[in-house]
Amino acid sequence: MPVWAVKLLAGLALLAVAAVAWQWRWSSGYDAGHAAAQAEAQAINAAIERGMQAEKDRADAEYRGAILARQAADRLVADQRKRIDGLLDELRRRPEVARASSGSYGPGEDWIGIFGQCVAEYERMGAEAGRLADKVGGLQNYIRAIQAPAKISPTTR
């Protein structure tokens, strides 16, 4: 085999080795960059999930607090209603007090019933106001949630 053929084969072999090395270096760098991007995306997703869970926990705690406050208010209303009913029963049992009307401006016999109706209407209005307040609070929380800016964005590095 002539010398120039050996040199040609050696040059071609060197060129092939250089091409393979270049391909390997490029692909390993690409793979490393891809792996780093995936790791970063997973970290961002984990942070977003933690933030969402924290927000959900906060909203659940607020909801439980609202329920407890509502139950306390309902207990207070029920206790006051029992007290009012007891006082009304006590007044009904004393006929001399209920019949002690003096002229056209006197309270008359039915003032206890009217007072009871007023208390019942007040309770109904209070329950309706509480229901509407719950709806407004829920809507306000929804609006705050959808308007809140994202704390972590994919472009932040």
155, two tokens: 């472009």
CA distances from 149 to 51, 58, 75, 144, 146 (A): 12, 17, 40, 10, 8
Number of neighbours of residue 145 by Cβ within 10 angstroms: 10
Q: What residues contact 145, with CB distance under 8 A and at least 6 apart?
A: 55, 59
CB 44 within 8 A of CB 152: yes
CA distances from 137 to 52, 127, 149 (A): 20, 15, 20
pLDDT tens digits for range 48-94: 999 889 988 988 888 888 888 888 888 888 888 888 888 878 877 77
Average model confidence (pLDDT) across the chain: 79
Domain range summary for the chain, segments of one domain joined by +: 3-147
- Please state the pTM of the whole predicted model: 0.46
pLDDT of residue 96: 60
pLDDT tens digits for range 86-121: 887 887 777 664 455 555 555 556 776 787 788 888
